[in-house]
């Protein structure tokens, strides 16, 4: 993949299963790398919000991500990609407002994320009609509240008998979906993002230096 990036002069962000030796033990992370159009490694993110369980649970969709991966330990880093400040996130991270706020505070202009989401959940079949709404809602809110551009790439179609929702999209810092995949087939979506829109949105709604009250938010970081 790195060689293909250099040959095609196209950078990418892609998730994979990382096996590493740290702290004198073998560790496994759900990881995403950011690679430049010269095929050079730029930066790495390890998924923070690892869902599911380590053992099967009766009455729920079998989701054993915690059996295989531990939560990330690299924080929410932001990297320079051809003059643009880019942060990364993976799947369940997109549902948590802290993901976008931390990326924003670390200077991100664009957040890239990939996700793999089934259409049906055994524990809540009545909510199936809301799956795409619940997919886009936190990303649109995260983009708007943190003045970020977001590029979200979905796995789509069927996998192990599970229908996946798709819904790949590019979201503006206004919270609007600027481009969206129209099918569950392989598809490429493109949008020319105006990065100046970030500053416009900050002036209009989110002047962080003037309006944020971090001294009043301390409980957010308290232990569970």
Q: What is the pLDDT of residue 160?
A: 85
Interval 50-73 mean pLDDT: 88
How many whole angstroms separate alpha carbon 34 and alpha carbon 88?
Answer: 8
The percentage of residues in the chain with a pLDDT greater than 90, rounded to a whole number, is 85
Q: What is the mean pLDDT of residues 58-66?
A: 81
pLDDT at 59 over 80: no
Residue 205: CB atoms within 10 Å: 13
**How would residue 113 be classed by pLDDT, with cut points 50, 70 and 90?**
very high
At 73, give phi and psi (nearest 5°).
Answer: -130, 20
pTM score, whole prediction: 0.94
According to the model, what pLDDT value does residue 162 have? 86
Q: What is the DSSP string of 82-102?
A: TTEEEEEEEGGGGG-HHHHHH
Q: How would you classify the pairing of strands 149-154 and 169-171?
A: antiparallel
Q: What would the mean pLDDT of 160-176 be, rounded to a whole number? A: 95
Question: Which residues have a Cβ under 8 Å from the Cβ of 140 and sit 6 or more positions away?
Answer: 171, 175, 176, 177
- The residue whose two tokens read 């990609």 is 81
Number of other CB atoms surrounding residue 71 within 10 Å: 12
- Mean pLDDT check: name the lowest of 70-84, 120-134, 184-198: 120-134
Would you say residue 95 has pLDDT above 80? Answer: yes
Q: What is the pLDDT of residue 224?
A: 79
pLDDT value at residue 121: 81
Alpha helices in the chain (DSSP H): 2-8, 65-68, 97-105, 131-146, 196-204, 208-211
Per-residue model confidence as pLDDT tens digits over 140-167: 999 999 999 999 999 999 988 889 999 9
CA distance 140 to 170: 10
Q: Choose from 18-22, 207-211, 220-224 the range with maximum mean pLDDT.
A: 18-22
pLDDT bin (cut points 50, 70, 90) of residue 57 is: confident
DSSP letter (8 states) at residue 72: P
Q: What is the pLDDT of residue 128?
A: 87
pLDDT at 40: 96
- State whether CATH 3.60.110.10 applies to domain 2-221: yes
Reply yes or no on whether the pLDDT at 60 is more than 80.
Answer: no
Check residue 62 and give its pLDDT.
72
């Amino acid at each position: 993949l790195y060689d293909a990036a250099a040959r095609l002069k196209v950078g990418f962000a892609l998730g994979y299963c990382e096996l590493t030796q740290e702290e004198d033990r073998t560790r496994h992370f759900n990881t995403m790398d950011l690679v430049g159009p010269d095929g050079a490694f730029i930066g790495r993110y390890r998924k923070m919000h690892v869902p599911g369980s380590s053992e099967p649970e009766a009455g729920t969709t079998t989701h054993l991500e915690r059996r295989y991966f531990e939560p990330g330990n690299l924080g929410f880093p932001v990297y320079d990609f051809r003059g643009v400040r880019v942060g990364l996130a993976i799947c369940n991270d997109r549902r948590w407002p802290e993901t976008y706020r931390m990326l924003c505070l670390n200077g991100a202009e664009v957040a890239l994320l990939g996700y793999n989401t089934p259409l049906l959940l055994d524990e809540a079949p009545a909510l199936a009609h809301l799956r795409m709404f619940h997919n886009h809602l936190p990303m649109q809110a995260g983009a708007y509240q943190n003045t970020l551009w977001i590029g979200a790439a979905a796995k789509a179609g069927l996998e192990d008998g599970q229908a996946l929702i798709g819904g790949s999209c590019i979201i503006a810092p206004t919270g609007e979906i600027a481009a969206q995949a129209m099918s569950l087939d392989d598809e490429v979506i493109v949008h020319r993002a105006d990065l100046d829109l970030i500053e416009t949105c900050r002036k209009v709604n989110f002047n962080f230096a003037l309006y944020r009250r971090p001294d009043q938010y301390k409980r957010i970081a308290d232990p569970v």
